[in-house]
Amino acid sequence: MPELTLDGLRVTARPGTTVLAALQNAGLSPLRRSLSGEPRGALCGMGTCSECRAVVDGVTVRTCLTPVRNGQDVRRLLEVNRDF
C-alpha cells in the first residue's frame, strides 16, 4: 500500500485512489482559502473546477486527477500559504 505524507501526517492509501480521496479520508477536506479567506474544498471531482489544488512533491496539481504514489509529499494550499 502506498504511504504518503499529508501536511506532515503519514497515511497509507489503497492503490488506485486519488490524492484527493486520501486527503478527504484523513479529514483534510478544506484544501485552500479563497481570496477573501473562506475555506474551500473540492467541488467537481473530475478536474473541471480546480478547487482541489494542492502541492504534491513541490508541484501544484489538481489532486482529483493525481493518483497516490508511495513517498508522495502532499501539502494543502492552506498550509503552504502560511509560509509567506
Question: Interface residues with another protein (CB under 8 A)?
Answer: 13-14, 16-18, 20-22, 24-25, 29-31, 34-36, 38-51, 53, 59, 64-68
Q: Which is nearer to another protein, 9 or 46 (CB)?
A: 46
Measured CA to CA, the distance from residue 4 to residue 46 in angstroms comes to 22
Q: Which residues of 3-28 are buried (b: 16+ CB within 10 A; e: fewer)?
A: ebebeeeebebeeeebbbbbbbeeeb
- Beta strand 53-56 with 59-62: parallel, antiparallel or unpaired? antiparallel
As measured in angstroms, the least distance from the Cβ of 53 to another protein is: 7
- Least Cβ distance, residue 24 to another protein (angstroms): 5
| Minimal distance, residue 17 CB to another protein, in Å | 3
